[in-house]
Structure 1
Amino acid sequence: MLGFVAAAVVCGVLVAGAVTPVVALSGLAVSNSIAYFEGFPDYLAITPLSQKSNIYAVKDDGSPVLLASFYDQNRIEVGWDQVAQFVKDAAISGEDPRYYEHNGIDAQGTLRAVAMTVLGDQIQGGSSIAQQYVKNVRVQACEREATQAEQTTCYDNVTATSASRKLKEMRLALGLEKRYTKDQVLLGYLNIAGFGGTVYGIEAAANYYYNTTAAGLTLAQSASLMAIVNNPVKFQLDQPDSFTNGTANGYAANRARRDYILGQMLRYGKITQQQHDEAVATPVEPQIHEPSTGCQTAGSSAYFCDYVSNLLRTDPTFGPDAATRMLNFRRGGYNVYTSLDLDLQDAATNAIAANVPQSYPGWDVGAVVSSVQVGTGRVLAMVQNKQYSQDPAVTANNPDYTAINYNTDYDQGGSGGFQPGSGYKVFTLAEWLKEGHSLNERVDSKPKANWGTFQDSCLGPQNYNSEHWSPKNDAGETGANYTALQSTVQSINTGYIGMAKKLDLCGIRKTAEAFGMHRADGTPLVQSASAVIGINEVAPLSMAVAFAGIANNGTTCSPIAIDKIVNADGTEMPVPKSTCTQSVSPDVAAAMHYALQMVMTSGTATTSWFGTSPRVPLIGKTGTTDGNKDTWMNGASTKVATVAAVVSVSGEANQRAIYLDSGQAATARHRIWPAVMSVANAKYGGDAFTTLPPSTALRPTG
C-alpha cells in the first residue's frame, strides 16, 4: 500500500497539490518518494510492432491475390487519417477523459484510484492512455525474448500488480509525452492495444469483428471495440455471453461497457444526444470475419505457399537460423510477392482434378505438376492431387489430405522424391555428347545378364559380371545395335546402358548435378549403372529445373519463388536470387534439342505433343519406373518447362492395370502435361530451338 501512496505523492507533486492528504496516510517523506520516482529511466525504446505477413500471387495486371497470412498477432498498423474520429473519441472518453490536458499522467485519476484502494481491498486502475501504451510496449518487447521461459519472466515483471511497476510506467509515460505529440501517442495506443485473442490494433479489430476498416467504423461499433480494450476477456465479441448470464442480449457485458463509453462521449461533447440515443439503441451485432492464416487457406495453391514459407524459414537471407527467420516472418509485417502464374496454376489444378483422384482404393496415388520459367528459374506452377492440412488427426485418417509436398525435396516439404525412370537418361545423353560421341553412333544394346565392367573415376571400376543384373526394355526391344538417337527417341534402356559402358559413371553423375539434379532426401546421387535409367529418387521440381536448363541452351537457373518482399515500413527487402550456371555447352544443348524434339514428334511423347495447342517447338522425355509404379512426362518450350507425374507415394501399383475415370492411369501424364503446356504456349509463346548440332554430333559411326 505504501508504494501506491508513493505513486499518489508523485502525482500530487506533479500537479502541485493534493499531496498532503495521502502523505498523512503513509508517513512517507515527499522527497524520498520523488527520489524513488526519479531513479527510474524516462526513455522507452519502442520497437516495431508485431504485424501479420502475407503471401501473394500477382495477376498479369499487377494486382495482388492473397494466398495466405501468417501471424503471432493479427495486426495491421494504420495512420492517423485511417482511424475514424469516433474511435479516437471513444478511446479518450472511456479510458482517459483528460488526455489532452495532462502531461502523461492523469493525477486526478491516479489519486482517485489510490483512495479507492485505501478504502477498499481491490487495486484500482487509473492509468492514462500514455501509461497503458507504455505497458503494451513493454509487453510487446517481452514477446521478442528468445525463449518461452524468458518471455514468461519478462511478462510477469511488466504486468505485476505492484507500485514499482506503476511508478516505472508513470515515469516512462512522462518521458514518452516529452518526445511525441498527443496524437502520436494515441495512434500508437490504438495500433498496439489488444482486442481479444490474437487480434491486435484497431484496424485488425475492425476487420475481424465487423469486416470493415478502422476508418469505416460506426459510432456504435467504435464504442463496442474500445469496450474490449478495457478487459478483452470480459468484453470480448467472439461469442455471445447469453448462455452464462441469461440476458436477452447475447453481448450484455460488452453492451454495458459500450453504453458507458457512449455516455462519456456525450458528457464530454464528442457526440450529440441524438447520436448517443441511436447508438445505444443499436444492437451489438459483430460479424466475425476470420482472417486467412497459414497455407491451408490458399486452396489449390497451398503446396506452393508451403514451399514459399519453407524458403522463408530456410534461406539465410531472412535471418541466421530457422527460428529467427520464421519469427521475423510471422511478426515482421512482410508482404511477399511470389512468382506463381495463376493461369498456369489453374490449368494444372484443373488438369490434375480431371485426371487423377485424391485417393484410390488400394493405391496410395499422387499426382504432381511443377512448371518453371526458362532462363529465370521462377516457379510458375506447383500443384498436387491432395488437399493440404497440417493437422495430424486429419492426415492420419483421410487419404485425401497430406502435409507433404510431393513436388519438392524433403527439407522443403517432407517428400523423399520419386524415381524418374527414363527421364533421367537426358543426363547420360548430355555426357555422351560432351565426350564427343555422335547421336548416330551405335552401341551394343542387346539385353544381357552380364554387362561386365563400367568405368568410374570416382569410385573405381564397377563390375556387373556376377550380379545377374538384366534390365529389359519397356516394349521388349531386342535390337543389338541401336544408335544413341534411336535409344533416345524410343527410350531404349539397354541402348543407354550400352552408351554408359563407353562413359565414366562419375562423369554422368557430375553432369546430372550440373543441371541441378540431386536426391530429394539430401543424400548423394547414386552413380551406378542402374542410375543411368533413373533409380535416384528426385523431386519433380528438380526435373523441371533441369529441363528448363536444357531448353535454355544448357544454362540452368536454380528455382526461385519470391519476386519481391515489401517490409512493414514500405521498403523492399533483399530476396534470394536465382543462380544460373552453364551445365553443358550450347553445342551440346543443340544436339540434345535435336534428339528431344524427335521424342516429341515421333517418339514416346507423341501423345503429349499432339495434345498440345497452340503447338510451339517442344522438347521432352518420358519416364516409367519398374512395374509402371511411377510415370512421368518432362518437357519444355524455350519459355516454360513443365513436369507432370503420376506416382505411387508408397507401396506398389501397376499403372497400366489401373483405369481411372479419365482413362488408363499410366497415360494420365499425357493428359495433364498438354493441358498445362497449352496454356503456357498461348501465354508465353515459344521460339525455335537451336537444332543444328555440330557435324560430329550426327556423324554416322560404328
Structure 2
Amino acid sequence: MAKLLGLCVVAGVLVAAMLFPVFGGLGLASNQAAETVDKVSADLVSVDPPLLTTITDKDGNPIAYLYDQDRVIVGADKINDTMKAAIVAIEDHRFFDHNGVDWQGTMRAMVKNAASDEITGGGSSLTQQYVKNYLAFVVAKDAKDPQYKKAIEQTPARKLKEIRIALDLERKLSKDEILTRYLNIVPFPYQIYGVAEASRAFFDTSPDKLEIHQAALLAAMVNMPGVLNPVTNPEGAKKRRDIVIDKMAENKMLSRDDEENRRLAEEYKAKGLGVLPELNLRNNGCVGAGPTDGFFCEYALSYLKKAGLDMDQVKRGGYTIRTTLDKKASTEAKKAAEATVSKTTRGVANTMAIIEPGQDRHKVRALVANRDFGNDADKGQSSYELPSQVTPFGAGSIFKIFTAAAYMQQKNAGISRQVAVPETYTSPVFKDGGRPWTVKNATAPMGSTTIQGALAHSPNTPFVKLEEEAGLKNVVDMAYKLGMRESLKEVNTQGQHRKAGDNSWMSVYDRTVKENNGSFTLGVTPASALELSNVGATIMSDGRWCPPSPIEQILDRNGRPVPIQEAPCEQVVEPALARSLAQGMSQDSVVGTAKNAAAANGWSRPMIGKTGTTENHWSSGFLGATRDYSGAVLVFTDGVAPQVICHSPVRLCGQAGTGAYGGDIAAPTWFKAMGPLHADKPDRGLPEADPRYR
C-alpha cells in the first residue's frame, strides 16, 4: 500500500510537470528551477554539440584530426529512413504518437522501479534520451564533470527535469528534427559520436546508404556502447542487433505484409555483423598526420596556442584549420633527411625546415626530420618538435651571416671589401675567462679575401675582427632582426625555456652581450632549423621579416573565418642591404664549403648559402635559399649524452675520429630536397647588390 501511495504521488507530480510551467504550490519546482529548465531547453535548440576539428594541408587535404568527441553533424536528408526506423523501433516505437513523453512507458517503468525499491531507468522517450545525452555530452565536458553525474543520476528530480525539457522541445522542434539531433549526438565505442562517424568507422559508408542489418547494429550499440561493441563482444552485439530487427518487423518497418516482415527479419538476422576487419578510426592528434607531417602538425598547434586559441575549444569546435603545408615539399625533404641520415641512426637528428619568402607572409612549407613522428623510439620515432624546437648545440658558422650583415650596415661596407685572414687571431676585445681569446681557422690558409669570399670559405679569424668593428650588440641585434627570435630568448644549456617565477636564468641575448661573448659569431648559442630557414626567407624578402606561419586559414563549423593574432611583418633591414647580403652569400655553392654537395646533386642555379659546424662537432647545419624557397638543415645529437657526430657513415663517434661538417651532412640534405622542388620552376636568379654595398 505504501508503494502504491508513492506511485500515486509521483504520478501526480508527472501530471503537474506536464500541465504547469511552475508548480510552486507544493514546492516541487521553483521559479528559478523553471528558468534553468527554460535555458537548457533553449540551448538544446540553438547550441550545436562538439565536433571534430580537421587539420589540412595547403590544398585542403586532411592530415590530422583533433577531438574530444569524434562527431560530424549531418542533416536529416543525409540519414536514411532505415536508420531512423531502426532507432525508433528499439528505443521508442510510439515516438511519432506522443508529445515528448511516452506516458504509458513512463508509468510502466514507475511501477517496475517502485516494485524494486530503486530507480533503474526505463520508459524514456527518444526526446527524453536526447535531453539526457545533450546534458551528458554537450553541457558536461567529460565524465569527471559534475554536470555529467547530474545528467545520468537516477532520481525523480532528474526525471522530472528531463520530462519538462522534453515537453518544451516538442513544441519547438519537429519530430524529424528531434530524431536527427538524437542520431547526431548518441555515443558509440572508440570516442565516436553520431551515426555519421559510426557509419564511416564501422562500415566505411555514410548514414544515407546504411543497409537494414547495418542500421540495426548501430541502433543496438546505442543501448550500451561500452558493452555492445561488435569488435570486443560480437555475440552480444549480434544478439541485440537481432532484437532490433525483430522490433522493426514487429512494427512493420520492413514490409507492410506480416509474412514478408518475418521472412525479411530472418534474412537480415542471418547476415554477419559486417563491420570492417580494421575499423576506420581517426587518430586523435598529430600522430594522425603520420611519420612525415606530424612535426608540422605539432608546430601548427603550438603556434595557435601562442596566438591565443583555446585548445580545448579547438578540440570541440569543429574547426577546419588549413595549414601552409606543401605535401610535395614535405615528402621531398623527408626523403632527403632519411637518405643522408637513417631514421634509426642512434643519437643523430637530421632536421629540415622549408619556408616560402614573401613580403606579407613567410609560409612554412615543410618541417621534417630523419626521425618518424611518433612515440616508439626503438623504431626511430620522436614526438619532440625536432625541426622547430630550439636546440642547445648551435648552428656554427651560419651565424657569420649576422656578423657580415651588421658590419656592412655599421661600416657602410661592400661585399667586395678585402678582409685579412690570419691563421690565428687574438682578440683585444673578447676574452676567454679573463684570458686573451685566440681563435684559429679550420680552413686552408688564405691570407686575405673579400667579405663574399669569407662567407663562402668560412674562415673564423676575419669574422671575429668584423664582429669587433661592428660591435657585438649590433651583431646580436642583427641575428634577432633577421629571424633568431625564439633562439635568443631565455633558455638554459639544455634549450629549455625559463619557467615562470624563475629569475635565475638570463636570456641568450642578454647573456651574450653582458658576458661580451665574441664566440657568438661562431654559432655557439641555441638555434632551430625553423628560425634559420626564416633568416633566409627574410634576406630573400628584401629584408622583410615575417613570423614563420604554418596557418593559411581557420574556419569555424559554419564556414566563417576565425582570426588569429600573428606578429606583424617588419622591415628589419633596408632592401639594399638585404639584396647585397644575398649576393655576398651567393658563392658558397659555387666555390665554397657547399660546392661538393651542390655538384654531387646536380645543382647549378643561383642561390644563397652558408654552412656551419660547431667546434665540438655536436651539430652542423646549412642555410640555403632561392627566390622560391628558403630551407635550413640542422643536424644535432639528440641522445641523452651529446657526442661528436662523424661522417661516412653518419654516426656518433664519442671523442674519437674527425667530426662531420655542415658540407658533409646538412648541405647534401638541402640539395637532395631542393632539387626536385625547383625542377619545374624557372630560374629567377638573385637580386643585384646595391652600389652602396658592392
For normalisation by structure 2, the TM-score amounts to 0.86
Encode CA deviations 1:611-637: one digit per residue, 9 max, x unaligned.
455743211111111133322121100
The answer for the alignment partner of 2:590 in structure 1 is 601
Could you tell me which amino acid in structure 2 is paired with residue 263 of structure 1? D
Encode CA deviations 1:173-220: one digit per residue, 9 max, x unaligned.
011111111111111111111123412111111122222221221101
Q: CA deviation at 1:446?
A: 2.4
Contact 1:450 1:469 in 2 (8 A): yes
2 CA distance for matches of 1:386 and 1:35? 62
1 CA distance for matches of 2:183 and 2:608? 58
**1:446 and 2:422 are equivalent in the alignment:** yes
The answer for the alignment partner of 2:494 in structure 1 is none
Distance 1:54 1:7, change over 3 A: farther
Contact 1:6 1:33 in 2 (8 A): no
**1:373 and 2:356 are equivalent in the alignment:** yes
The answer for the alignment partner of 2:534 in structure 1 is 545
1 CA distance for matches of 2:547 and 2:16? 68
Could you tell me which amino acid in structure 2 is paired with residue 439 of structure 1? I
Distance 1:585 1:155, change over 3 A: same
1 CA distance for matches of 2:285 and 2:17? 50
2 CA distance for matches of 1:39 and 1:439? 79
Encode CA deviations 1:656-677: one digit per residue, 9 max, x unaligned.
555249x995412232111211
Encode CA deviations 1:138-181: one digit per residue, 9 max, x unaligned.
11244348xx8xx5322222211110100000000011111111
The answer for the alignment partner of 2:525 in structure 1 is 536
The answer for the alignment partner of 1:524 in structure 2 is 508
Contact 1:135 1:159 in 2 (8 A): yes
Q: CA deviation at 1:420?
A: 0.9
Contact 1:564 1:575 in 2 (8 A): no
Task: Find 2:289's aligned residue among 255, 274, 298.
Answer: 298
**1:78 and 2:71 are equivalent in the alignment:** no
**1:384 and 2:374 are equivalent in the alignment:** no
Q: CA deviation at 1:135?
A: 0.8
Contact 2:622 2:667 in 1 (8 A): yes
Task: Find 1:226's aligned residue among 210, 219, 243.
Answer: 219
Encode CA deviations 1:582-627: one digit per residue, 9 max, x unaligned.
1211111122122111222222222343345574321111111113
SS in 1 for 2:57: strand
The answer for the alignment partner of 1:206 in structure 2 is 199
1 CA distance for matches of 2:603 and 2:589? 15
The answer for the alignment partner of 2:502 in structure 1 is none
Distance 1:524 1:551, change over 3 A: same
The answer for the alignment partner of 1:579 in structure 2 is 568
The answer for the alignment partner of 2:305 in structure 1 is 313
Distance 1:691 1:30, change over 3 A: closer
The answer for the alignment partner of 1:268 in structure 2 is 251
The answer for the alignment partner of 1:423 in structure 2 is 398
The answer for the alignment partner of 1:216 in structure 2 is 209
Contact 2:287 2:374 in 1 (8 A): yes
SS in 2 for 1:450: strand
Task: Find 2:280's aligned residue among 259, 270, 289.
Answer: 289
Q: CA deviation at 1:313?
A: 2.9
Gap runs ≥5 in structure 2: 256-260, 492-496, 498-506, 652-657
Q: CA deviation at 1:309?
A: 2.1
Distance 1:206 1:117, change over 3 A: same
Could you tell me which amino acid in structure 2 is paired with residue 691 of structure 1? E
The answer for the alignment partner of 2:503 in structure 1 is none
1 CA distance for matches of 2:530 and 2:218? 47
Distance 1:3 1:563, change over 3 A: farther
Q: CA deviation at 1:88?
A: 0.4
**1:104 and 2:96 are equivalent in the alignment:** no
Contact 2:425 2:461 in 1 (8 A): no
RMSD between aligned residues: 2.8
Distance 1:536 1:13, change over 3 A: closer
For normalisation by structure 1, the TM-score amounts to 0.85
Distance 1:519 1:235, change over 3 A: closer
2 CA distance for matches of 1:379 and 1:350? 18
Contact 2:121 2:154 in 1 (8 A): no
Deviates more, 1:610-619 or 1:89-98: 610-619
The answer for the alignment partner of 2:238 in structure 1 is 255
2 CA distance for matches of 1:512 and 1:15? 72
The answer for the alignment partner of 2:172 in structure 1 is 179
SS in 2 for 1:94: helix
Distance 1:489 1:30, change over 3 A: closer
2 CA distance for matches of 1:190 and 1:5? 34
Q: How many residues align?
A: 638
Contact 1:371 1:641 in 2 (8 A): yes
The answer for the alignment partner of 1:659 in structure 2 is 649
Q: CA deviation at 1:326?
A: 1.3
Deviates more, 1:195-204 or 1:522-531: 522-531
SS in 2 for 1:380: strand
Q: CA deviation at 1:327?
A: 0.5
2 CA distance for matches of 1:514 and 1:267? 76
2 CA distance for matches of 1:90 and 1:402? 46
Distance 1:581 1:30, change over 3 A: closer
1 CA distance for matches of 2:519 and 2:8? 85
The answer for the alignment partner of 1:24 in structure 2 is none
Deviates more, 1:558-567 or 1:516-525: 516-525
Could you tell me which amino acid in structure 1 is paired with residue 538 of structure 2? G
2 CA distance for matches of 1:124 and 1:668? 68
Distance 1:112 1:595, change over 3 A: same
Q: % of aligned pairs identical?
A: 25
Distance 1:193 1:7, change over 3 A: farther
**1:49 and 2:49 are equivalent in the alignment:** yes
Q: CA deviation at 1:226?
A: 0.7
Matches within 5 A, 1:126-525: 126-144=123-141, 151-240=144-233, 251-272=234-255, 273=261, 274-287=263-276, 288-299=279-290, 300-316=292-308, 318=309, 325-360=310-345, 364-375=347-358, 376-390=361-375, 394-395=376-377, 398=378, 400-409=380-389, 415-435=390-410, 436-448=412-424, 450-453=426-429, 463=431, 466-477=434-445, 479=447, 481-520=448-487, 521=491, 522=497, 523-525=507-509
Distance 1:4 1:192, change over 3 A: farther
2 CA distance for matches of 1:280 and 1:399? 45
1 CA distance for matches of 2:545 and 2:650? 36
Could you tell me which amino acid in structure 1 is paired with residue 438 of structure 2? S
1 CA distance for matches of 2:267 and 2:158? 41
2 CA distance for matches of 1:35 and 1:531? 73
Contact 1:357 1:385 in 2 (8 A): yes
1 CA distance for matches of 2:24 and 2:451? 98
Contact 1:417 1:540 in 2 (8 A): no
Q: CA deviation at 1:495?
A: 0.8
1 CA distance for matches of 2:133 and 2:394? 54
2 CA distance for matches of 1:197 and 1:465? 60
SS in 2 for 1:215: coil
Contact 1:646 1:669 in 2 (8 A): yes
Contact 1:105 1:174 in 2 (8 A): yes
Contact 1:483 1:495 in 2 (8 A): no
Encode CA deviations 1:446-494: one digit per residue, 9 max, x unaligned.
24463112xxxxxxxx556942422221225363x44323322211110
1 CA distance for matches of 2:33 and 2:647? 83
Q: CA deviation at 1:12?
A: 5.2
